[in-house]
Chain A
Amino acid sequence: MSTGLIFAGTGAILFAMGVAGVMLLAHLLRRILAFNLMGSGAFLILIGLAQRAGLVDPVPQAMVLTGIVVSVAATALALALTRRLHKLTGAYTLPATRDD
C-alpha cells in the first residue's frame, strides 16, 4: 500500500465525517465547518489517488489548487449568508421544515 493510497483513504474517512456532520449538526457554523471537511477529503482523494503509483500528476494538483480557492470563496459566501440569516431571524439554525 503506497503513501498515496493512505492519503486517499484518509480523504475518504474525512469526507464521510463531513457528510455525517452536514446531516447531523444543526448550528450553521458547524455545518459550514463540516462542509469544509468534505472538501478537504475530496482534495486528499484527488491528490492521493493520482500519485498512487509514486509518480506526481500535475493535472489533479492544479485542479485541487483551483478547488481550494473556490472552497474559500464558498465558505465566505456561506458565512455571509449565515450572518444575514442571523440578522433577520436571530437564529444560527435553519428554520424547521416538515418532512414531506
Chain B
Amino acid sequence: MKRAAIIIFAALFAFVLIVAMLELSALPSPKVNLPAAVAANMAASGVEHPVTAVLLNFRGYDTLLEIAVLLLVLLVVLAVSPREGKAPAASHEPVLQVLARVAVPVMLLAAVYLLWAGAHRPGGAFQAGAVLGAAAVLLHLAGLLPGWNAPRLFMRAGLAGGFLVFLVVASALLANGALLHFPPEFAGALILLIEAGLTVSLGLILAGLFLFLA
C-alpha cells in the first residue's frame, strides 16, 4: 500500500514537473539575459571560453567553496575510515605495470592539455583533475607509486595546496575592494595559477577518495 502510494506520488510529481516546464517554455524569455551578460563581459574575464569565465571569474565563490567541500569530504573519509586511512594493497602484475607505464605519461600530457585548453575551449581544472586522479589511482594499483600508504608532507601539501592558493589569491584581491574581483590585466594569469593549483589538488583528492574507500 505504502509502496504503491510512493510510486503514484513520484509519477504524479514527474508529470507536474514536466507540465510546469512546458508552461514555462511558452512564456516570453526572462528579463535577465544571462548569456548576453556573460558575452558582454568576456573581454574583462581574462579567458576566452564562457564556461571557464563563469566558473573562475564571474562566479568564483562557487569554485572556491567547491574545492573546500572536496577537502572537507576527504578529511571526513579519513576520519571515519576503519583502517586509519590505509589505501588498498597494490598488486604487482607485470601486465598492469607495463600498461600503467605506457598510459600514465599520456594521461599527464592530456591533463596539462585540458588545463591549458580551458582558457579558450571546453576543458579546465576539473576535467584535468579527473584525468590526473585516474592516473594516480592507476599508478597506485599497479604498485608503481604507492605513496598513499604513508602520506608525507609533500602529499598533504598537494591535497590542501589548491584550496590554499585559491584562498591566498582571493584574499590578496580583497585590496581591490571585493573578494575575487580580478583586475582585467592580470585575470588570465591569476586564473591559470588558480586552475593549476586546483588541478593538482583535485587529482590528489579524487584519487584519495577512491583509494581510501576501496
Contact = CB atoms under 8 A, between A and B. Distances in A.
A52 B25 contact: yes
A37 B73 CA distance: 20
Size bracket of the B interface: 35 or more
Interface in B186-214: 202, 206, 209, 212-213
B63 interface: yes
Interface string B1-42: 001001101110110011001101100010000110010000
B35 A57 contact: yes
B54 A83 contact: no
A26 B212 CA distance: 25
- The residue among A49, A56, A59 with the most chain B CB atoms within 10 A of its own CB is A59
Contact of A9 (B21, B35, B38): B21
A74 interface: yes
Interface in A50-96: 52-53, 55-59, 61-63, 65-66, 68-70, 72-74, 76-77, 79-81, 83-84, 87
A84 B80 contact: yes
A57 B34 contact: yes
Interface string B54-88: 11001100110010011001001100111000000
Interface in A1-48: 1-2, 5, 8-9, 12-13, 15-17, 19-20, 23-24, 45
Contacts of B54: 58-59, 61-62
Contact of A53 (B7, B10, B29, B80): B29
Given A45-B21, A53-B29, A55-B35, A16 B13 contact: yes
B164 to A, nearest CB: 18
Interface of A: 1-2, 5, 8-9, 12-13, 15-17, 19-20, 23-24, 45, 49, 52-53, 55-59, 61-63, 65-66, 68-70, 72-74, 76-77, 79-81, 83-84, 87
Interface of B: 3, 6-7, 9-11, 13-14, 17-18, 21-22, 24-25, 29, 34-35, 38, 50-51, 53-55, 58-59, 62-63, 66, 69-70, 73, 76-77, 80-82, 126, 202, 206, 209, 212-213
